[in-house]
Every structure is written in C-alpha cells, then in structure tokens.
Structure 1
Amino acid sequence: MEYPLLFLSALIGWSLAFMPSLPPDGESLTHSVMTMEALLEVASTACREEAQANGQTYTRPDPLTPQNLLLACLGASEEAGISSSKFTEVLDEIISQNTNIDDLNGLGGSPAHHFNDEVLEQGRDIITEGVSVIKASLGQDDFETARRALGAVTHTLQDFYSHSNWIELGNKDPYEKLLRPDLQLDNLADATTPTCNDCQERECPNVILPEILSRKTLTSGYVSPTPQGKCNHGDDTRGGINKDMSGGKVGPDGTDPHLAAYFTATQATKDLLQDIRTAFGNANFLRLLGITRSSVVCFVIDTTGSMRDDIAQVRKLTADIINNNVGTPDEPSLYILVEFNDPDVKAPVSTTDPEKMLQMVNSIIVGGGGDIPEYSLTGIKFALTAAPPSSKIFVFTDAPAKDFELNGTVTSLAQSKQTQISFLLTNALNGVRRRRRRSAVTNPSNSLYQQLAQSSGGTAIEVTKGTISQATKIIEDSVTSSQVTLLQIDSNQPDMFNFIVDPRVQRVILYITGLSISFTLQNPSGVSQESTVESGPLASVSAVGNLIRVSLNEGNLTGRWFITIRSSQAYSLQVTGRSSLDFMSQFVEEFGGPHPGFAMIPARPPAGQNAILRLIVTGVDTLFEVKLSLVSANGELLRNASVSRLSGSTYLARVSRLPDVPFILLLTGQESDGQPFQRQSTTQIQASQLTLQVQNSVVMVPGQSIIVPFTVDARGIEGVTVIRVQDDQGFVREFDASLTLNDVTGNATGQLSLSIPTGTPPGTSSVVTLEAESTTARQSNFALLRASVIREVIDLTPPVCRVVNESLDCPALCGNATWQVTLLMTDGNGTGLQDPRISVTIPDTPLNETSTSIITDIKDENGFNATLLTFSASCCVTAVEISAVDKEANVGRCDFSIRRPSTSTEPPQITSTPSHSPRLTVSLWTSLLLLALTALLL
C-alpha cells in the first residue's frame, strides 16, 4: 500500500482510532486515516470516470492528497489559484462526525454504535438507518445532512472489524451482510453461548474458544461488566478481543490483527462509498465531497414592489457572472436563490446549471410589500441552512428587517457555518449627518445589517438604486474557491494598519466601508498613493456609496504594506487575495473514557476558560514559526496561543482564558524559503459563559413524534435563561421557553417536542436552532439539532443481475475481435429501476476502444418488469462494470474481467465477479423460455 498514511494522520491528527486521539504508541492506525484513505481513493475513481466520460485524461496523483487530487480532478495546475481548503473542510466534516461517535456514544453508553456486547443486529440497524438518511438526503440534494450521516455510519461500520471476531475467524474481505440489510445475519453467538476464556491478564493469547473459531460463530467483546464466559473488549489493564491498537499477538499465519482489521475496515468503507457513488453518479458524489472549482453564489433578494430597479441589476449581475466565468476556474459550483416578501418567504432553490440560474432570476416577480420593514432575516436564515459551510451570501434589499427577533439565530448559524453575509442596501439617506457616527452606514435602520456583516466577515454597502451595479463588483471578486482574508478591521478612529502579502497571494483587493474617508497606501518599497488618485502606481481606486474598492496592481506585491485611514467616523477595512495557502480552525474539547480524544465544539466556546483549537493549513507542506493570535475587531491583540505541530500541516493551539468579547484568529508564520505570511479567519468568534447541549441529530418517519431533551449550563450565572427555538420545516411543536438554573449545579434541563407531518417527503431535513440567553447577564449560546426524515418502510433489496447469454471468443491478440454478454437486471417486486436503468463503466481502457449497449424492457419469469442488456466490446476492453439502481438507491452490480489466453490454443474466458457491498452473486440463468424470448428480442 502506497498511501501517504503519515500525511493522512496529520490532516486530521487529533482524531484517531480505532481510537479518536493520538495513539500512545505512535504506530496504530485510526478511524481518521482509514476514512480519509477511502474517501480519497473512491473520489479518485469518480474523477477518472468523469474525465473518461468527457473525453479527457486523468492521472492519479502521487501522493494522493486533497490538494493533489483536487488539482488532478479539475484538470488544473498550481498556478490556477484553486484552493483545497473547501475540499479539506468537507473531508474534515465527514471525519469529525465519524470520530465524534466515541464522544457522543461512548463505548459503554451505546454498544450498538460500536458493535460491542454482542448486539450485532442492532449495530447493523444503525448502519441501515444511517445509509437510508444518506440516500434520502442525496435524493433531495441535501449534501450537508448526507455528510454528517456518512461520517457517523463509517465509524460504526469500521468498529465491527476491530470489536468483533470477524478477523479471528480468518476473514480478509468485508462482511457483505452489514451493507445488505435484506440478508439475515447468521451464526451469531446467543446469550448462553460461551465465547472466550476468562483472562484477567494484560495479554490474553488464544482467548477465543476453539469451538467458536471452528464453527465460525460471530461474537464481540463486552466493555463492562463482562458476563461469565463472554469475551472482554479489553483495556489498558485487561486483555480482550479488540484490535483498536497495534501490538497484539500476531496470528498463526503471521497476520497482525490490528493491521488486518484496519485493511478490512478500510475496504468496507470503500465499498459503502462505491455504493453511494454508483447510486447517485460521479458528479453528485464529487459534489458530496466538495470537489468543485469555485465557491457558491447565494442571492437573498427582496422582491417587494420598490425593488424593481434592483432586480434588473441582479439579473445583469447574474448574467455577467455566468458569461465571464463559464469554463474557467472561477465558475460557481452552485447557485442558490432565496426570495423574500411580506409576509411570504420562498423556500431556497438551487442549481448547478448556470442557464437554469438565469431562468430563475429572470422569472422573479416583483410586487406587494405593504409597510416598509420586510422579512429579510427569514430569507437569510433559509439561505444559511441551504448553503454549504464557508459560503458567501449576498442580500439585496431597500428595507429594514421586520423579523429582528431572528438576529440571534442568524448570527448563530453564520458562526456555526463560518459563512459571510454581505448586504447591498439601496435605502441610504440622501444626506449624511455631520455629527460623529458610530456606524459605517448612513441609515440607522441598516445598523442591524452592519452588525451581521461585521460578525460574519462580510460588508454592508449602501448605494442608490442607480449605482447598485457599481457595487456588485465585490460579488464578482468573491466568485472563487481561493479567496483568503489577509486583514479585517472595524474601527472608529484614524489609524495606520499593515498587512503582509506573500508570494502565493494574487489579486489583492482592499474594501473600505464608511463615510468621509481618505487614506494613504504604501507598498513595501516605500512608494505611496493617495485615495484621490484613481489609477496610480500602486492600485486602482473606485468608490460607490459607502464603499471604496482598492485593487492592487499586479506585479511585485510581496512584503509588508501599510495603509493610513483618516476618518472621524466608524469604518471597516478588509484585505483579501487569492491563494491556495489558507487555514481552517475548530474549537475542540477533550473527552475521556476507553477511547479518549478530542471532539469539536459546534457552538460558542467557553468564555473565561482554557480552550483548544485544531488548525489545518492547506496549500503548503512545510511551515516554520507558526503563531496564532486572538485579535479584537479593531485589531487589538487579546491573546497569544501556544501552538504545537502534530505532523504535516495540522496543529493544536492552546489558549488561556478565552476573552468574552468577539475576536478573530490571526495565523502567521514562514514558508520553507523564509517568506512570511499571514491569514485571518473571516467570521468573528464570540465565546460565552453559557453552554447549551442537545443531541446533534434525530431520524424520524412521517407521522412520528418524539421528545428531545436539552441542557443549559451557566456556572457563575444565576436566574432564568430564556430559550428560543427556530426550525426550517415547522417540525417543532412546543418547547420549554425558559429554564431556572439550579443554584448548586448551575444547570437546568428542558425539552422540545418534534412531530413530522404525514406526507413529508423522505430526505426532508430541518435544522433546528436552539438559543439560550441569560436574563441577568449578557450571555447567550446556541445549539443545532438536525432532524432527518426517512420512509417508514424501505425497499432494502438491490436489483438482481443474471447472465443470459455469452459469446466469449477472444484471441490472445485483441485486434478487431469483440466479446459479448447478455444480462437481465430486475428489481423483482421492489420499487423498480431508476432511469437510466443500466449504467456501464469501462475502467482503465483507452478512449479509442469501442463498445455498444442495447437495452430492452421485458418481463421476467415472475411477470416483473426487467431490463435486458446486450453489451458488446472490443477484446481490448479488459474489464467492465455494469450496474442497476432501483428507486430506493439500492445498487446491483455485475463486474466482468476478460482473460485472454497466453497462447492461441488456450480457450478464452470471461469471469463475472461480485461487486463490493452491497455485492451480488452473479448466477447463470438457463431458462429455455427466457433464452427463446431473448433470441426473439435480439
């Protein structure tokens, strides 16, 4: 195996396993490594097939890293400015959900999530339910829910191979039935079956009873307590059957049990991913993993009557973005549109098709509105739940918010998803008051928008309706996957600021929002340019409304730049560029138990307490002098973190006593050539003394109702805590609107009830946002609960493949010869096959080789709908993968590999091999009646 395991471990370094933390021996392989390896490998296969389908070439990168894979998959070069940060972020999201299972459902707390305590059937039920959520969510293009479910499912699937005796039974391939819920698990040890010797020692060789091994009986270990005669899971003091760590006794055949479990679990993970890829196609699979050229364009548009002129500019902007970027590295990967009016707010619509986006925008109908305020925050909330993390949302309106009570929810969602919100406001006051203002906007009703923009790292631009087109340049600037933030400042007094431009940064642009502003810009060589010079030696300067855009001239930008801003009023400064060098961060907390490790904190981190951040730097292999600082919105240094390198480009940063004011992360360091760099996080972070906890997901069926508990912890704060709950789909029926904190423990428990209306489509997902706010202290926090809907009765049986006829006369020299096979694919009495009913893939075959497919609809011997496929290919085509997917996304596959004789006298052969799980046993169907029917059809 030639995968860069050290790199994979470094990428998600804290999250290991079969342990979710760094192994003490430094050698054990982990959940993170196997999941990353499987994701990259199957993604590489999808990239190859996509390239082949488009008549392009694809070369598997070596080493197979996210950055290398992204460049190879997109057919790009380093110079193209494509960043792997979003791709890495998606991979991290999946892997974090995997490793969080050890925190949320610890070994002793939920045996089924880990295949402990011989609850093997319940463990498979968890996998089945999770896979159902993945497929239902992908059917609704809900990639975020699918990623979360995928991460959780892979943990349970992988644990089977470490916590059961599957490996000890001599198995080297994955257990097919874990991903085939239509098949019964057999030969399971029951409660009365002795399975292991009693061993109290640290090392327990031959602990599994010989009769269990000889009879191929499946069992698993108990965490605590272990019933008499049963297998112990094992821990630091007592041996057991788990293979979580290296160092176990090598088997009679020389097999390391930890490595064997690792390799089999990794293959099982690949099987699951291949199943998903086949069911939903390569394009959707790559979107699931975040392999795209550029960022998401999300428009939230006020459609009331006064917005008629603005809508015309939005249409023009959309056309410009599409026409200028189609086929380039900056082509948007996804378009999202949300329309809000009064009182209606339309559900988000999204598309990857630029022409469809044009149609959606052109079909906007303007009218209505009534009073001036509109439901803008509802529209933003819809966009935040629909858009992927790290998106950019642009809001067009000329009215204040009517639904200002959603401010906390919107702020929480923006922080959780690290999403920027920018506003193009056409309700600026005609005259600007002379007195000193504490806002960078002229209209007081826009102050809420300005606060949201500042906290999310966006901008609030005030323009007239006639000049809105000049302000939309900021949207065109941001349509890229590689935009990074070098500096952002909010200030209300004159000051001088500096920022470093490293050699990897291109297209540096400064945005200054505010009133009555002048500035002096100075480059690293000491050359200056005043703000009054529109086109000078350093930059091009343009102004519209309260926005000044400064685009640095291309050339030698490297070094430290200075800008002196003169203004008696509030203003904001943001410096951006394009670069593959970026970083992502996540607050994490340690957890204990048999599998101790770190778990991500999805909400606000604890104020006044020590904290840990995990940092992943992308686009560069080696860094030196890495430092992390916490700075305030006005640039004041608040804290310096203690940074330690795990390995590769993954770091842990420890911070003492988090401040209780908003802060931004500033990362600095040097590359291997000694060049310094700096990057900032975009979204402001607000710590809190309050903690709000709720389970992160529930799975329900239409018509079901459940009660979900939640807990508020506010040590040091007394009194009543107000609870606010919002959800997308109206699933929340009631909840405790306030809680009185316990004087001793400082916490309280409440509950909310969820109910899924009958007729809710499977795949529907609702993000429930809970917000807790103290009535005695200005402290608040939030938590997110995702409710996913699946069918009550699910077709779990995949389509069946049968070989009807074969013509396999292939010579040793392929030349002009062909081979042919006729197959029948049927879903029996299931939901029926999807369209296209049959897909054929020819891996690793030169593009000039030929093949043909003839598809005919017939009835099988039981009267069910079936599809007959006759496939012919050149004898130079050495392998083919044929699959059918039913309407519940169950996959049936027939894989063929042709074997040519070494001499012309040997008979040619072709073999049909079962696919990975869910795999099918391919059998010959020799019914004379069907053969006769086949002959007639052909």
Structure 2
Amino acid sequence: MQTSLTELNKLFITTSASNTPYPVAPLAKVTCTDCTSLGGGVYDCKDNIAVKNLLTSGYKLSASCRTKPPGKCSHGGKNDFSQNYSPVGGINKESSEPSISPHHYLHQEAADMAIKATQDFFIDPGYGLLAQLGGNVFEQFFGLLGYSLTMAIDTTGSMSNDIQAVKEVAIELIRNFTNTPDAPYDYILVEFNDPDCGPVTKTRNVTEFEQKISSLRVDGGGDCPELSMCGLEKALLESLPRSKIYIFTDAGAKDAHLLDQNKILIEATKSEVHALLTGYCTLRSTQDVQQTKHEQQHMRKERATTSNIYEELAEFSGGYYVMTSKAGLKDVLGIMELSLNSAPVTITKMEEKRSTLSFPVDNTLVDVSVSVKSVSSGFTCTIEDSSGKTVKTNTVINTATQQVFKISPVEALGLWTLTISKEATYEIEVGGKSLLDFSYKIMEEQNGYTLPIQGRPVQGLNYTIALTLHGANDSMTIHNLTMLDQKGVNVLDSYNVQQSNSVNGKITATIPVQFNSPVLMLAIAGESSKSTFKRMHAEPIFTEAVRLVRQPGQNGTMIPGGSTSLSVLIINEGSDSEFTFAVAVDSIISVDFNPKQKILKKGENVSLEAKFLASSSIQSFKSSTATFSASSTSAKNYVKVPISVVPQDALVVDENSPEYQIDELLMPCLGTDIQHGKDCKNHLWNVAFTTWDTDSDVIVSLGTDPTPDNAHFSCTPENSSTILKQSCSYRATCCSPYQEFLISDFSGNGNILTIDYRAPEFPAARVTNLILIVCGSVLLVTIITSITICVIHHKRK
C-alpha cells in the first residue's frame, strides 16, 4: 500500500508519547461543560472539556457558522460571541491573555506540544513524512537538497581556442569540492550555441559530469552574439534554489530581451550568477549593433555603471564577474572557489570614491574575503587588524583593475582597515564564512493576517520586516536595522531593534517599515560578549508599481500526463503602461498562458491564466515552481506558485473508519445495589470484540481516564491475508460498568465502541418500582420519579 500526502496530513493528529492517532468525538457526544463567568466577557475554563483522548474543536460564530451544536465547545475569547451560549466559555489556547484565550494557562504547553507534533509529523522515524516519502523526495519537496553547481558553456566556433581551458577549470573546480562540506547536491551542464540552446545534462554522478564536460565540442555560430540568455534561463529553471551558476563565453547576448525574465528567476530562486568571459567579441553586423543597443537599454533600467549584460547579472545576483583570457582562466579558479562557500556572509558592500575602509571582524568568522575593483588601474591594497598589524593575505585575483584576497585563519578581532594606494571610485565587498547571519521576510496584512509578500514590495506602502538572527547565542544583541542605497553608502532609514526570542530559541525582531526608494539594501549591526558584528544582504530589494496576487483555492497538483490550470491577478498600481506577461516552469512541465500582453491603466487589473501539462514520463513525486511575471518599461514583478506531480496510486485516500463487532458481552452489573454496594468489586463484567481495517493497522485504546482499578484490557492481532484484525477483551468490576474503546487506523480515521450500563445512585427512599427493560442493545431504566435514562452500547458491522 502506498501512502498519500492526504493520508499523511491526517497523521498530524497524534499523541506525542504514543504516536497513536486520536479519533474525533462523535457528533452526539458532549465535549464541553459550562465555564465560570468572571465578568467582562472573561471565563474561568479550567477542566471544562468533557472528553478524554478524543479530538474536539471549538465553534466560532461567523457568516458561515451561525450556531454551535448542543454540548459542543466554543472557540472562546472576546472576539467570539458564541462563548456566551451554553456551554459558555471556550477552549482556545492562542494567547496567554485571559480575555482572548479561555485556556490561556495552557498556552506555552500547547505551543511546545505543537512544535513537538510538527517535528513528529515531519521526521518521526515510524510515521513521519520523511519515513513515508523517503529522503530524496522529502528533501526535494521542502527544498532541502542543497544547491546545484551549474555551468552554462558557450560551444560556438569562436570558443575553439578557449574551450579546452574552460573544461580544465570546470573539472578542477568540481574535483576540489566533491567530498567537502561545501559540495553541491547535483551538477548541471547547459550548452548554448546559435541558433540552438541546449541540451541540458543533470546528474549527481561526478564522473558522469566530468565526462560530459570533457566531451564538449565547438561548432556553429558565425555572427558575434550568442544565445547566452536562453542558456541562463534553462540553467535557472533546471537548478535548485540558491544555486551557483557559471557562464563561460566570449560573446555578447543575442537574446538580451530575456534579461528581465532571467532577473526575475534569479530573484525568485535566490541563485548566484558568476560570469567568466574570455573576451567580448566585436560587432560584425548592423543587427549586432541594434542588439547591443537593446542590451544596453535593459541594463540601464537598474544599473548603468556595468560594462555589459554579464556584469549586470553578476552584480544583480551577488555573483562575480571576471574578464580574462584563456591563459588567465586558471587564475580565476580562486574566485569560483570563494563563490562555493557553504556559509557565505557579507559584512559590507559599497561603491564610492575613497582610499580607506574600516570594517568589523567578529569572533564567528572562519575566514574573511576582500574584493576591490575599479576602472582605474595600477592600485595596491593592504589590510591592517585592530592593532595596526598588517594582515597576511592569500591573493586570489591580482589584475590591473581587480584584486581579491582571502584571510584564513582569522587571528584578530575588532575593527580592520583596508587601505588602497590611491583615491578613486572602487567597488569594495568584504565577506567571509560564518554561521552568524540574518534572514528576513517582508510581511503585509492580508485578510486580517500578517503574511509574507509574494514578489517585490510596492513603493510607498507599509510593511513589516520579520528578522531572524541565525547562528547566534544568548549574549548577542542586534542594535539596529539599516536601509542603504543601491551603492551601499548612504543611509536611507535606520530602525532601532527590539529583539525577542522565538519558541525555538532564535533571536527575532519585527520592524514596521515603508519602502520609499526604488532600490535599497538591508544591513544589521550588533554585538556579542566578544566582539561587534555587522551583516549585510547584498542582494538589492526593488520596489515596484505592479502587484501579482495568487488566486485562492486553486489546485496545483497533477498526475503524470495530466493538467491543471492556475490564475494570478495582476494589478497596476502605477502609471498607464503596456505589460508583457510570462509564466516559466522547468522543462518536465509544459505551460500555455493568456494574455501575453495588455495595456493596463492605473488601478486596472487582469487575470493571467495558465494551463500546465505534466509529462507522462514522470514516474514519481515531482515538485516544481511556476513563476508568473509582468513587466513594462517602468515596472516588473513576479509571484511563485508551487506545482506538484503525484503518481495516480498515491492519490488514493483511505477515508474508511475501522469497524468492529461485539463477540461476547457479560454484564451482571444491572441495578444500583450491585454497582454502588460495598461488594461491587467482587463482581466482574467483560466484553470481547473484534476490530478490523482493510487498509492499515488498527490501534485500540481506552477512553476512560483514569482506568478503573483492577481492570484488564488486551488486544491480540489476528492473521488475515486481506484485512488487518485485532481481537480484544476487557474485564472490570461492577463498580465501573462502563468504558469507551477508541479505535483508530494509521490514516487518522477513528471509531468508538461505548459500553455504558451505569445506574444513577439515589437515596433509598426514592428508588421504588424500578423497571428494567432490555431490548436488543438498549437498556432502558424507568423510575416512578419520572427520571428516565436511556443507555446505548453501539454495535457496528
């Protein structure tokens, strides 16, 4: 039997101790009793839940829920009017504030249990998602595979003099990282030529990847530019998120119109693009001249200081750009190795006219890297630590216009100083390897909830930055969050940080912000007991005037060979513009969408409809992401939508509850005398029953808490080729002539067998003319005092 994701979701309903799914309380069962009113809409609700070891939920009055059934719990709290109707009060534990949560005293315990249950759901070795799906699919689904090492290599004829050097450098890089902590998850090779783009090779086998690179041959081309942007697009779509992508070419881009789309994919996947050029071929036709003008127009939109489209992409993605020669390719191997750092951090990144720069070096840094680049040539650099001592450096790059150094190990903490031999405009980046870094999410209000935004924020609107400090300890404090301009020099805004600790111990903070600049970068500063620290996110935040909103209630799941349709609402918040739309997804899923273009006036919107078709060759679970985008001459934005391909047999959901049959019931406990008399413990009752399920194992537990004294309960599995059976027996004294048997399967389906022959205890003077009527499975006790009790034991086959 194959377990589906829907089935696995049901397994979230478990006890953390026994990993046994709890059944849901039947509709007719009373689950809550009245709480005590404390006035002002606040209730004391301790011990108001009437069921044990059964799942129940709280009703909250709304447009779709007008009433709550008799005996059922309310959600409760000042925002729930149903808490004033019997049973009054409620059960929610969302807050430690009594006016919001009737079970406020259980808030922390509930939070801890929720964390534990979540961990069990994902990684419990018996029933967790990891055990059910297997490591590879689990990691793929949650993006835990690591990163791809991807190479997009120009194989046109003009590369004939350089291709051998490219092969050697690529293979050496692979070998240097194969068996290290920084090793990639998989290796991808994308060939691009003219007029073709591809093929794509994807493998986890290092030897196979080396052989593929070694077998590359050059041909074709003819004119100057090549289809490098098509090659990069394929690389981005086939690679895992946060991948390292290297472009090797000696030519410009014939398809510069794909630049904006590639930037959106870079931003959506958080991947780095590193460009290594062995030249930039001269123009050979009027068409080439026009193409280069097109390329420059695209570049000017976000950064006008880069020399070509490759430097623009490297700058945009936080990657390296190097112009070198065939002979110099091996000299840039160190740059490539720096880029494969598994714990990269940025301390500062800036572009300014200067000759010195000071930066903090903290105790968490394993190594430090410094890159200095300028259009001016012939400069030299020195680095001094906080004591003024010259730091010993390892030179990675040393050309007339760029110098890159690596310092390892780091032997001194404090404020270091970089000194450059002459004053000029430099691009300086200081980074290193450290576990101490920060992540952030830009949050916005959506339907009463604060959720992460999709795509880029809109300029001028209010947002919240949710910040998390990783690799920190209790002695670390964040002092401020700073917004810097695109050059990393001017402070646009600075916010004091009031940090707190999350339930899992991480340092967090929420900061209300407004983005009033078209481009900005974020940095934090703080200190520990040993040193001060600074961290910067070098990837810029772009604000836009167009929004893309995922439509709710859509299904992104397909079977192999099947299809699904998704739509995204595009809203123009800026001036009237003509927008071009795109939907990108990896090659194993095809897509068609409409419209392709549309003029939108300010405030207008359009629905972008896309139909996806999964390849019939898919054999197992496949997780992918579709990137919807809209761009005009002045704005562009995107939204990511998850898509899954699930084999047909994995969609079969077990929704059948376990069944049972009572085989024997001996109940000699009828009447108040035998149940409440002194010798009730000398009389025994017992029941034997069989329970079964056709799809999964059956678990039977007792619902009465505490278990009566001297009670005995056991279940024994029965052999069967078609169904999973258990034979159970229970024995107790007549002092406790009742029991609930909770029956569950491992898909979370539940059933309840109730045996209840309790008689009320009355004063002797009132118990007269007692009539007992047994009819089938119903015991009716009628008393002259007009008290009538109907007790039923359920019998289901």
**What residue is the counterpart of 1:502 in the other structure?**
362
Give the conservation status (yes or no) of the 8 Å contact 1:490–1:572: yes
User: Letter of the aligned partner of 1:632 in structure 2?
Assistant: D
8 A contact 2:155–2:216 mirrored in 1: yes
Q: Aligned residue for 1:354? A: 206
- Aligned residue runs from structure 1 range 652-801, under 5 A: 652=509, 654=511, 656-673=513-530, 675-695=531-551, 698-702=556-560, 704-729=562-587, 731-741=590-600, 746-756=603-613, 759=616, 761=618, 763-774=621-632, 778-794=634-650, 796=652
Give me the CA root mean square deviation. 4.8
Which of the numbers 581, 587, 594 marks the counterpart of 2:436? 581
Q: What is the aligned counterpart of 2:484 among 610, 631, 650?
A: 631
Cα 1:452–1:382 change in 2 (3 A) is: same
Q: Distance in 2 between matches of 1:349 and 1:916?
A: 44
- 1:455 alignment partner in structure 2: 316
State the partner residue of 2:788: none
**Residue 204 and residue 494 in structure 1: after superposition, are their counterparts in 2 closer, same or farther (change >3 A)?**
closer
Contact 1:628–1:653 under 8 Å retained in 2: no
1:609 aligns with 2:461: yes
Contact kept in structure 2, 1:501 and 1:561, CA below 8 Å:
no
> Relative to 1, partners in 2 of residues 1:917 and 1:339: Cα closer, same or farther, differing over 3 Å?
farther
Cα pair 1:174 1:264 within 8 Å, conserved: no
Distance 2:524 2:362 in 1: 13
Contact 2:11 2:21 in 1 (8 A): no
Mark the structure with the bigger radius of gyration. Answer: 2
**Partners of 2:189 and 2:307 in 1: CA distance:** 22
State whether residues 772 and 782 of structure 1, in contact with CA within 8 Å, keep that contact through their aligned partners in structure 2.
yes
Question: 1:506: Cα distance to partner?
Answer: 3.6
Task: Measure how far apart 1:421 and its partner are.
Answer: 1.2
2:455 aligns to what SS in structure 1?
coil
Instruction: Tell me the SS of whatever aligns to 2:308.
Output: helix
Does 2:131 align with 1:270?
Answer: no
CA distance in 2, matches of 1:406, 1:725: 13
Amino acid at match of 2:79: T
Looking at structure 2, the residues matched to 215 and 415 of structure 1 have their Cα atoms a distance apart, in angstroms, of 47
After TM superposition, the structure 1 = structure 2 runs for residues 123-202 of structure 1, keeping only pairs within 5 Å, are: 128-129=4-5, 176=21, 189=27
Partner of 1:814: none
2:491 aligned partner, one-letter code: L
2:152 to 300, 304, 319: 300
- What is the CA-CA distance between 1:462 and the residue it aligns to? 0.8
Residue 343 of structure 2, aligned match among 463, 482, 485: 482
SS of the equivalent of 1:390 reads: coil
Partner of 2:78: 236
CA separation of 1:526 and 1:386: change in aligned 2, threshold 3 A: same
SS at match of 2:435: coil
Partner of 1:550: 405
User: Secondary structure of the equivalent of 2:210?
Assistant: helix
Q: How has the CA–CA distance of structure 1 residues 173 and 219 changed in structure 2, closer, same or farther, with 3 Å as cutoff? A: farther
The 3 A distance-change label for structure 1 pair 523 and 130 is farther
Q: TM-score, normalised by structure 2?
A: 0.66
- Counterpart AA for 2:642: R
- 1:470–1:544 CA contact under 8 A, matched in 2: no
Unaligned runs of 5+ in 1: 1-126, 133-152, 162-166, 178-184, 432-436, 530-535, 799-827, 831-859, 865-891, 893-913, 922-938
CA distance in 1, matches of 2:446, 2:122: 29
> Residue 630 of structure 2 aligns to a residue in which SS?
strand
Identify if the C-alpha distance between structure 1 residues 796 and 270 changes in structure 2 by more than 3 Å, giving closer, same or farther.
Answer: farther
Per the alignment, do residues 758 and 318 of structure 1 end up closer, same or farther by CA in structure 2, a change over 3 Å counting?
closer
The CA distance in 2 between the partners of 1:295 and 1:197, in whole Å, is 54
Task: Please tell me whether the aligned partners of residues 167 and 214 of structure 2 are also in contact (alpha carbons under 8 angstroms).
Answer: yes
Contact 1:471 1:547 in 2 (8 A): no
The amino acid across from 1:692 in the alignment is: L
Taking structure 1 as reference, are residues 256 and 655 closer, same or farther at Cα in structure 2, changes over 3 Å only? closer
Counterpart-to-counterpart distance in 2, 1:672 and 1:261? 31
Where structure 2 has 5 or more consecutive residues not aligned to the other structure, the ranges are 84-89, 284-295, 655-693, 697-718, 725-742, 751-797
Distance across 2 between alignment mates of 1:243 and 1:352: 47
SS of residue matched to 2:540: coil
Say whether the 8 Å CA contact 1:394–1:421 is kept in structure 2: yes
Equivalent position SS for 2:338: helix
Per-residue CA deviation, residues 87-116 of structure 1 (Å, 9 max, x unaligned), is xxxxxxxxxxxxxxxxxxxxxxxxxxxxxx
Q: 1:430 to 1:257 in 2, by over 3 A?
A: closer
Aligned to 1:932: none
Asked if structure 1 preserves the Cα contact closer than 8 Å seen for 2:45 and 2:103, the reply is no
- Tell me: CA distance 1:701–1:233, structure 2 relative to 1, closer, same or farther (3 Å): farther
SS in 2 for 1:759: coil
Aligned residue type for 1:709 = S
Q: Which residue of 2 aligns with 1:316?
A: 168
- What is the CA–CA distance in structure 2 between the aligned matches of 1:786 and 1:286, rounded to whole Å? 15
- The change in CA–CA distance for 1:501 and 1:759 in structure 2 (over 3 A counts) is same
- Higher RCO (Cα < 8 Å, 6 or more apart): 1
AA partner of residue 476 (structure 2): L
Q: Is the 8 A contact 1:394 1:424 kept in 2?
A: yes
| Distance change in 2, residues 1:699/1:498 (3 Å) | same
Shift of 1:280: 5.2
1:645 aligns with 2:645: no
SS in 1 for 2:541: coil
> CA offsets, 1:70-99, max 9 Å, x none?
xxxxxxxxxxxxxxxxxxxxxxxxxxxxxx
Query: For residues 185-220 of structure 1, what are the alpha-carbon distances to aligned partners after superposition, in whole Å with 9 as ceiling and x for unaligned?
Result: 988649xx998789996548599997xx59979676
More strand by share: 2
CA distance change for structure 1 residues 723 and 546 in 2, over 3 Å: closer, same or farther? same
- Contact 1:624-1:670 at 8 Å conserved across structures: yes
Task: Report the residue type matching 1:723 in the other structure.
Answer: F
Structure 1 CA distance for aligned equivalents of residues 280 and 387 of structure 2: 37
Tell whether 2:219 aligns with 1:367.
Answer: yes
Written as runs of structure 1 = structure 2, the 5 A alignment for 1:325-364 is 325-346=177-198, 348-364=200-216
In the TM superposition, 1:78-117 aligns within 5 A as none
Post-superposition shift, 1:605? 1.8
* Superposition pairs of residues 249-268 of structure 1, within 5 angstroms: 259=109, 263=113, 266-267=116-117
Task: Say if 2:627 and 2:641, in contact at 8 Å, map to a contact too.
Answer: yes
Match of 2:265 in 1: 413
In structure 2, give the amino acid aligned to 1:508: V
Q: Answer whether contact 2:348 2:536 (CA < 8 A) is retained.
A: yes
SS of aligned partner of 1:563? strand
Offset, 1:278 = 2.7
Contact 1:763 1:789 in 2 (8 A): yes
Instruction: Give 1:847-858 correspondences, 5 Å limit.
Output: none
Q: CA deviation at 1:732?
A: 2.7
